[in-house]
Structure 1
Amino acid sequence: MFPAIPYPQLRLFFDGMLSMMALYALFSYTQHRKPIYWQYALYILCMIVTFYWDDIDYGKADYLPGTNFKVAAVESLAFLLYIRFAILLIDIPRLDPLSHKILRAMNIILAIEIAVDLGFYLADATNVVKSNTYIFFRCLLALGALVVVPRILKLREVAVGYFIAGSLFFVLGCLFALTTNFFPQIFDRNPVRALSFPVTYMEIGVVLEVLCFTLGMSVQNRKNELDKIQVQEQLIEQLLENERKQSALIRIRDDISRDLHDELGADLSSISVMSYAAIKQLNGSGAAAEPTINLIGETSRKVITRMREIIWSLHSVHNSVDNFTFRAKETAYTLFEHHPIALHFDFPSQEVNSRIPNESRRNLFLVYKEILHNIVRHSQAQNVFISIVVEVGNLALTIQDDGIGFVHEEKENLGNGLVNLQQRTNSFGGKFLINSLPGEGTTVIIDCPLAGHIQE
């Protein structure tokens, strides 16, 4: 009636298939480091061991399900891993919190069952009590499954179909194995006929289940990869949009710079020229008005200077380190022009193509200028040493004088001027260091992050 396939050979073939799938899962874990893979491999190994022991139990004349503690414990462990596998594969906690709670309750039931079976094993309870307890707990699990499975089907996730199909194959295999107990004359466990053994059908169900689960994981991984690609594309699009906005902002800054130069600059320059011409035209007859006119001219010249600084700080063409060093030297000479202080510069000897971010350049320049003003007002120095060192990703600006110095205390005791300098430096992610002692001068070091560093 049955094909003459020897049972030992078929079992060896199926066990080999399952073992290969377990090894594949372990290898996948080493590659992806996801718990689902090692749990899946352990589940397969538990089922192989369970089938081996089931073979022995089915051969007993007084066999009752659940009486062998080892079989029941390993089987319960397999179900624990099975539930955990379902949770990870379908992402049940996120998609259906209620089903997740039910599955967690089923895990607790399995843990209780293992503890109860251990107690019966140690107390040497009767096989009837062990079997009835086993059936009771399995019925509780079946009720939980009847609630969860319909809910999972409604999720319409990619992996759900494969999971349900695999579970169906496993259940059908188990049901068919149980049915064989009612036809002992047909399923007589003849070693020559593999299909006469109940375990054959259980193992066929598990083999088909494992194949479905493996396909489900592959499809789910593919979906995850596509989701990652989509997220990456969105991030790239967002970065491009940010670049477009940044470019638009730079254009606006450049437009403002040009407008200030073209419109206000010309008018302020004409005011300065006209005030000078008015003094000449008075020919000494308007001595009382001369100071006022001089003040107008001086004020307009100051405004022109300030406006040029604003234009320089706004325009993106001036964001190179070389341009900054030129501006720093020009500003220092202008400030110290009428003071007996010698300037000493140590700037990069060759061209540096690194860029100072636009949002940092203005604050860095204002900090630098304020330090020079403080030297003029308070230091009584004879020499000022200014150096710029460009390293990978960083510009270090050092300003040192040989003046009278001061007592440098903690930040909370600093004057508002130094605190403001520190805050302005912090605004562009830089570092502000100051070292001073009475009679030994003052050294200030400012570190400014750069947009890039390419030295030729």
Structure 2
Amino acid sequence: MPLLHWIHILLIGTMLFQATFMLVQWFVFRRKDYLYYIVYMCSTLLFLITRLDSVLHFFPAPIPPMLDEYLDQPLIIFACWMYIRFGYYFLELKETQPALYRNARLVEIFFMVFIIAKCICIPFSFSYTTSSIIYMIASVSLALSAAPLLYKLLVQRNLLNNLLVIGGVCIAIGGISGHIFTLIAEDPEQRTILVYVAFEVAILLELLLLNTGLVIKNKRTQQQIIDTQDRLIHQLQQTEMLRTSLSTMQTKLSSDLHDNIGAGLSSIAMYSQVARQRMEKQPASAAQVLNIISNTASDILSEMKDTIWFIQPAHFTFEQLIDRLRQYAEPLCAEKEIHLEFRLPVAAMPELSLGARKNIFLVLKEAINNAIKHASPQSIIVSIDCAEAQLTISVTDDGAGLPPTAGRSDGNGLRNMQQRAKGVGGRLDLFPVTQGGTQVRFELPMQVAS
């Protein structure tokens, strides 16, 4: 057997191995694009085997002329059609690039039209030369119809796109060059054998490019899996941190309810007994005790409303916190004829976590309450500044200045305010104002607040 025949058999064997390999891949991954590639490769194999049967004798009997015509040009164009379908599924154009996907579907229509037209023309029995010319013109037309799609894929500078496009171009050039050779070859045997050499070499190059593309795609898929796992791990860590934070906050709220509201209710119960005992003999004293009960109940009600606001599930913005603070401070300031002003930054302020929301609000509430009760100011200014990853909140009044107990841990609730500031990683200080008055400054990192 001549060497050229052995080369044909070797190339056909390589294609058969590739088809088997892709079949295994399809059984493992069940990807639709692998199935289309198997159909493309099997169609190409059948085309080459039927074309080379006259010299290599693959079949025990000659193929009928009419069937041989149907297994010629229509079959190889069908194979090219399957390669295009494999390509846009392999590159996931439908999901990632719908416009290119629609272009690919239009190119498919050209291939289907050619197959139908060729099958209709076969019974008219055109000569071999005429048929080759028609096929060459049709092949060039089909290649030109696909050229814009291939160009759009190439300009994206995506390695996977480039490998697939170059493989398709190699197949097109191999098929067209073979039929150009048939027009100039004089020996019919050369037409039968050499016409398919360029096509087989092109398919071999396409196999190398495809396998490289499979390696790249598998690597990308593995990286996507790793990235997805990393995101899930990060989400689980955040969920665990949130669960821990909520657990800590629930414990703290439970402690606050027990210490503050529980103590208040106990005092109401105690004062109620005292008032009952004094009601008949000491009505004036009983009235004072009832007034204490009323004030305590009002304080408990206010604290309950604050607690309900703290534990709402959504993260609140500073605007919502300021609105809540206005609802508390404006009636108190109006009663004392004190001007209350809020100065907010122009830039957007962060959302507040549950812990930051609670501590910031209570610090500001205590600072305003202290100024109203102890400083007798004419105005109170609450200002908020977000700069250099730090949040600064200050409450400034023009009242009587720092009280004598300001330097001690028990003066005017300073101890509680400082503890709340430290609880969210912040710092709280008191400063005298030059024109008279006091400034309470609360500083904390921005990432702690959000």
Pick the TM interval, shorter chain: 0.5 to 0.7
Specify whether residues 272 and 18 from structure 1 end up closer, same or farther in structure 2 by C-alpha distance, changes over 3 A only.
same
Matched, 1:162 2:153: no
Shift of 1:72: 1.7
Q: SS state of the match for residue 71, structure 2? A: helix
Equivalent position to 1:279, from 276, 279, 283: 276
Residues 102-154 of structure 1: per-residue CA shift (max 9 Å, x gap): 32122112212222222223465676775555344323211122212221111
1:81-120 paired onto structure 2 within 5 Å? 81-120=82-121
Matched, 1:247 2:244: yes
- Alpha carbons 1:117, 1:130 under 8 Å: kept: no
Taking structure 2 as the reference length, the TM-score comes to 0.55
1:414-433 paired onto structure 2 within 5 Å? none
Matched, 1:31 2:39: no
Specify whether residues 52 and 95 from structure 1 end up closer, same or farther in structure 2 by C-alpha distance, changes over 3 A only.
same
- Alpha carbons 1:177, 1:202 under 8 Å: kept: yes
Q: SS state of the match for residue 155, structure 1? A: coil
**Residue 221 of structure 2 aligns to which amino acid in structure 1?**
N
**Residue 36 of structure 2 aligns to which amino acid in structure 1?**
Q
Highest RCO, 1 vs 2 (Cα 8 Å, sep ≥ 6): 1
**Residue 90 of structure 2 aligns to which amino acid in structure 1?**
L
Unaligned runs of 5+ in 2: 57-67, 312-450
Matched, 1:201 2:198: yes
Shift of 1:198: 2.7
What is the distance in 1 between the residues matched to 2:131 and 2:189? 26
Residues 350-369 of structure 1: per-residue CA shift (max 9 Å, x gap): xxxxxxxxxxxxxxxxxxxx
What is the distance in 1 between the residues matched to 2:79 and 2:220? 27
1:364-403 paired onto structure 2 within 5 Å? none
Matched, 1:74 2:71: no
Matched, 1:153 2:140: no
1:437 counterpart residue number: none
What is the distance in 1 between the residues matched to 2:179 and 2:198? 10
- Alpha carbons 2:182, 2:191 under 8 Å: kept: no
What is the distance in 2 between the residues matched to 1:16 and 1:218? 22
Specify whether residues 8 and 270 from structure 1 end up closer, same or farther in structure 2 by C-alpha distance, changes over 3 A only.
same
1:259 counterpart residue number: 256
Residues 214-239 of structure 1: per-residue CA shift (max 9 Å, x gap): 22122112212211221221232123
Equivalent position to 2:9, from 7, 12, 36: 12
**Residue 201 of structure 1 aligns to which amino acid in structure 2?**
A
- Alpha carbons 1:93, 1:100 under 8 Å: kept: yes
Unaligned runs of 5+ in 1: 60-66, 316-456
Residues 176-227 of structure 1: per-residue CA shift (max 9 Å, x gap): 5345436647996499xxxx72323321221221121122122112212211
**Residue 202 of structure 1 aligns to which amino acid in structure 2?**
F
Specify whether residues 120 and 175 from structure 1 end up closer, same or farther in structure 2 by C-alpha distance, changes over 3 A only.
closer
Specify whether residues 287 and 184 from structure 1 end up closer, same or farther in structure 2 by C-alpha distance, changes over 3 A only.
closer
1:298-317 paired onto structure 2 within 5 Å? none
- Alpha carbons 1:80, 1:107 under 8 Å: kept: yes
Specify whether residues 268 and 283 from structure 1 end up closer, same or farther in structure 2 by C-alpha distance, changes over 3 A only.
closer
What is the distance in 2 between the residues matched to 1:42 and 1:272? 87
1:153-192 paired onto structure 2 within 5 Å? 153-178=154-179, 180-181=181-182, 184=185, 189=190
Matched, 1:228 2:229: no
Specify whether residues 137 and 173 from structure 1 end up closer, same or farther in structure 2 by C-alpha distance, changes over 3 A only.
closer
Matched, 1:210 2:207: yes
Shift of 1:249: 2.5
Specify whether residues 134 and 183 from structure 1 end up closer, same or farther in structure 2 by C-alpha distance, changes over 3 A only.
closer
Shift of 1:19: 0.8
Shift of 1:255: 1.5
**Residue 229 of structure 1 aligns to which amino acid in structure 2?**
I
Specify whether residues 190 and 133 from structure 1 end up closer, same or farther in structure 2 by C-alpha distance, changes over 3 A only.
closer
Matched, 1:237 2:229: no
**Residue 182 of structure 2 aligns to which amino acid in structure 1?**
N
Residues 301-345 of structure 1: per-residue CA shift (max 9 Å, x gap): 9x99xx99xx9xx99xxxxxxxxxxxxxxxxxxxxxxxxxxxxxx
Shift of 1:277: 3.4
Shift of 1:259: 1.1
Q: SS state of the match for residue 68, structure 1? A: helix
What is the distance in 1 between the residues matched to 2:121 and 2:112? 14
What is the distance in 1 between the residues matched to 2:285 and 2:229? 70
**Residue 109 of structure 1 aligns to which amino acid in structure 2?**
F
What is the distance in 1 between the residues matched to 2:73 and 2:123? 14
What is the distance in 1 between the residues matched to 2:111 and 2:287? 99
1:420 counterpart residue number: none
Shift of 1:175: 4.8
Specify whether residues 183 and 112 from structure 1 end up closer, same or farther in structure 2 by C-alpha distance, changes over 3 A only.
closer
What is the distance in 2 between the residues matched to 1:20 and 1:221? 20
Specify whether residues 104 and 219 from structure 1 end up closer, same or farther in structure 2 by C-alpha distance, changes over 3 A only.
same
Shift of 1:20: 1.1
Q: Which has the higher helix share?
A: 2
**Residue 249 of structure 1 aligns to which amino acid in structure 2?**
L
2:406 counterpart residue number: none
**Residue 257 of structure 1 aligns to which amino acid in structure 2?**
S
Q: SS state of the match for residue 196, structure 2? A: helix
- Alpha carbons 1:89, 1:220 under 8 Å: kept: no
Shift of 1:158: 3.0
**Residue 121 of structure 1 aligns to which amino acid in structure 2?**
I
- Alpha carbons 1:159, 1:216 under 8 Å: kept: yes
Equivalent position to 1:270, from 261, 267, 283: 267
What is the distance in 2 between the residues matched to 1:220 and 1:135? 34
Residues 37-86 of structure 1: per-residue CA shift (max 9 Å, x gap): 11111111111111123335899xxxxxxx92321221121011110111
What is the distance in 2 between the residues matched to 1:190 and 1:153? 34
Q: Which moved more, 1:211-220 or 1:126-135?
A: 126-135
Residues 385-430 of structure 1: per-residue CA shift (max 9 Å, x gap): xxxxxxxxxxxxxxxxxxxxxxxxxxxxxxxxxxxxxxxxxxxxxx
- Alpha carbons 2:164, 2:209 under 8 Å: kept: yes
What is the distance in 2 between the residues matched to 1:90 and 1:47? 22
What is the distance in 2 between the residues matched to 1:231 and 1:143? 41
